Amino acid sequence: MKYRVFLSQFARHPLELGTFTQSSRVLARRMAREIDGAHRVVELGAGLGPVTREILRRLPDNGQLICIERNGAFCRALRQLDDPRLQVIHDDALQSEPYVAGANCVISGLPLTLFDEDKRRRLLDIMSKAPKCVQLQYTPRIALEMRTYFSNVKLKIVPWNIPPALLYVATQAQPTPIRQVPRRTCRSPLLLSRKNG
C-alpha cells in the first residue's frame, strides 16, 4: 500500500522525491541510529515516515522530532503516527532554519543533487546550523560541496536498499568564509577521507 502511495507521488513529483521507493527498514534504522541520544531532532523530507518511525523508537520520552515535508499527502500520512513527541510541518525545507537552529541533529532525505545550486547551498547552510547532520544520497556527487559547510564529513554505504544508499554524516560547521561552493560537485568519495586542516 505504502509502495503504491510513494510511487504515485513519484510519478507526479519525480524531482522532489528523487527515487521511486521509500527507504528500506535497514536504511531507516541506520539513519535513525545516528541521532545518538539527541533530544531535539529535525527531519527534512520525511516522506511516508520510515526514518521518522525509527527515530521515534530511539527518541527519549521527553524528546522532540520536527518533520518538515512539502508534500501534503506525505504530511497526512506522517500525522497518523500520532505521537506527542512528533510535530509535522507542511512546508519547504527552506523555511526550516528556526527549527534546525534549536536541534541537536538534523536528518535529511532531501534529494539535494536534484535541486539547483542556489537552493542546495541555502539548504546546506541551514543544515549546518545543527551540530550534526545526516544526509541521504544515492550518488557521491555532493561530497565536496558538503565539505564546504562541514569540516568533518564521513561517508557510510548502506547496500541494503533500492537503490543502494550513501549516508553523509557531517559535524563541525565550517566558518562562513570557507563556504565557496566549487563550480563542479565532487564525483569521488575518496576525497572524503581527506582530513580538514
Ligand X SMILES: C[S@@+](CC[C@H](N)C(=O)[O-])C[C@H]1O[C@@H](n2cnc3c(N)ncnc32)[C@H](O)[C@@H]1O
Per CB under 6 A, the list member of 92, 157, 160, 188 interacting with ligand X is: 92
Strand order in the sheet with 150-158: 86-90, 64-69, 40-44, 105-108, 132-137, 165-173, 150-158
Q: Which residues of 75-85 are buried (b: 16+ CB within 10 A; e: fewer)?
A: bebbeebeeeb
35 binds ligand X (CB under 6 A): no
* One-letter identity of residue 80: Q
168 binds ligand X (CB under 6 A): no
17 binds ligand X (CB under 6 A): yes
* Residue (of 164, 113, 114, 110) closest to 135 by Cα position: 110
The region of 13-21, 145-153, 177-185, 189-197 touching ligand X under the rule CB under 6 A is 13-21
Distance CA 54, CA 59 (A): 9
The region of 54-62, 67-75, 142-150, 175-183 touching ligand X under the rule CB under 6 A is 67-75
110 binds ligand X (CB under 6 A): yes
Q: Could you tell me how many residues of this chain bind ligand X (CB under 6 A)? A: 22
Per CB under 6 A, the list member of 42, 59, 67, 74 interacting with ligand X is: 74
The region of 44-52, 56-64, 150-158, 171-179 touching ligand X under the rule CB under 6 A is 44-52
163 cis-preceded (ω within 30 degrees of 0)? yes
